[in-house]
C-alpha cells in the first residue's frame, strides 16, 4: 500500500474512533491532556524515545533537540524521508527503534 493511501486510511480510522465529545469536555473544563515536556521540575530518568521526521511540516524537529537535558536516558532520532507520519513513511526503522525502547523498559520494570 502506498504511503499516501496508508495515511488516508489510518487517519480516517483514527478520526472515526475519536471521542470528540470527551475532547470537547476536557478542553472546556481546562484540563490538561499532557505535561509541559520542555520545563520539567526534575529530569525524567527512565528510558525515553524521541522520534521526529526531518521533513515534518506540522511541528518540525529542531526544537525537540533543546529538551534532551530533561531526558538523560533518551534516544533521539531524526528520520530523513519522514514527515509527521514517520511511523508510516519510515516504518522499518521506526518499528526497530520502538522495539529497542520497549526492551529498555522491560529491563527497568522487571
For residue 105, give Cα distances in angstroms to 35, 36, 65, 69, 82: 20, 22, 22, 19, 25
Phi-psi region of 2 (alpha: psi -120 to 50; beta: other; left: phi over 0): beta
From CA 37, how far away is CA 71, in angstroms rounded? 10
In the chain, domain spans: 1-33, 34-110
- Give, as one character, the DSSP assignment of residue 57: S
> pTM for this one?
0.74
CATH architecture of 34-110: 3-Layer(aba) Sandwich (3.40)
Per-residue pLDDT tens over the stretch 19-65? 988 888 877 776 666 667 778 889 999 999 999 999 999 888 888 88
Residue 9 has, within 13 A of its CA and on its CB side, a CA count of: 7
DSSP structure string for 29-43: TT--SS--TTS-SS-
Amino acid at each position: 500500500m502506498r504511503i499516501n493511501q496508508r495515511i488516508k486510511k489510518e487517519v480516517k480510522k483514527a478520526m472515526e474512533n475519536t471521542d470528540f465529545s470527551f475532547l470537547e469536555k476536557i478542553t472546556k473544563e481546562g484540563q490538561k491532556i499532557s505535561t509541559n515536556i520542555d520545563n520539567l521540575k526534575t529530569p525524567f530518568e527512565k528510558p525515553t524515545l524521541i522520534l521526529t521526521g526531518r521533513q515534518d511540516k506540522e511541528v518540525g524537529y529542531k526544537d525537540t533537540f533543546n529538551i534532551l537535558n530533561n531526558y538523560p536516558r533518551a534516544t533521539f532520532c531524526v528520520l530523513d524521508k519522514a514527515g509527521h507520519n514517520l511511523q508510516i513513511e519510515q516504518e522499518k526503522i521506526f518499528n526497530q527503534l520502538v522495539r529497542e525502547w520497549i526492551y529498555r523498559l522491560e529491563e527497568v520494570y522487571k
